[in-house]
């Protein structure tokens, strides 16, 4: 996890891929512990896919 001011970046593994998620910093939100299973959900309108080499 990285603290970026108003945003917290969470990295999670899905099979062999690592996914980075940026969420707003909310003191009432419990952040996942390392190694803890988590559920991912998002609207397709909020998804930005970068092609390899364009990151």
Give the predicted TM-score (pTM) of the model: 0.57
How far apart are the C-alpha atoms of 54 and 8, rounded to whole Å? 22
Which pLDDT score, from 0 to 100, does residue 36 have? Answer: 87
Which pLDDT score, from 0 to 100, does residue 53 have? Answer: 64
pLDDT greater than 70 at residue 1? no
Which pLDDT score, from 0 to 100, does residue 51 have? Answer: 77
3-38 confidence digits (pLDDT tens):
557 888 888 888 898 888 888 888 888 888 888 888
Domain ranges, ordered by start, for the chain: 1-29
Which pLDDT score, from 0 to 100, does residue 54 have? Answer: 53
**For residue 2, what is the enclosing H or E element?**
strand 2-4
């Amino acid at each position: 996890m990285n603290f970026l001011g108003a945003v917290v970046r969470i990295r999670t593994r899905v099979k062999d891929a690592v996914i980075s998620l940026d969420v707003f910093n909310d003191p009432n939100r419990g952040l996942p512990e390392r190694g803890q299973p988590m559920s991912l959900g998002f609207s397709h309108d909020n998804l930005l896919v970068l092609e390899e080499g364009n990151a």
